[in-house]
Each structure stands twice: as structure tokens, then as C-alpha cells.
Amino acid sequence: MSIEQGFILDTELRKLNTAKTAVGRRAAATDVCERVPPELGDR
């Protein structure tokens, strides 16, 4: 594998990792919102 191929692979992996992190954060935020009882949100 050439250095260029390694760099492209590294960039793709980083993009994938960033996407996964964003999805994970969104899922965590949704999870927290679902755990809060509606009564608490109305005050």
C-alpha cells in the first residue's frame, strides 16, 4: 500500500468516526429527553 492510499484510508476512517460520533451524540440526547418525565418539562 502506498502512502497516498494509506492517507485516503485514514481520511475515510476519520469521516466514518466523525459520523458515528455525531449519531451517538444525537442518540444520547434523545435518550436523555425520553427519560425526563413530561411533568418536569412543563414547569
C-alpha cell at 24: 451517538
C-alpha cell at 8: 485516503
Task: Using alpha carbons, select from 31, 25, 34 the residue that is nearest to residue 17.
Answer: 25
pTM exceeds 0.85, yes or no = no
Cβ-proximal residues to 1 (8 Å cutoff; 6+ apart), any chain: 9
Indicate whether 43 pLDDT > 60: no
* pLDDT, tens digit, 9 for 90 and up, residues 9-37: 888 888 888 878 888 888 877 877 777 76
How many independent structural domains does the chain possess?
1
Burial 21-37 (b: 16+ CB within 10 A, else e): eeeeeeeeeeeeeeeee
Containing structural domain, residue 38: 3-42
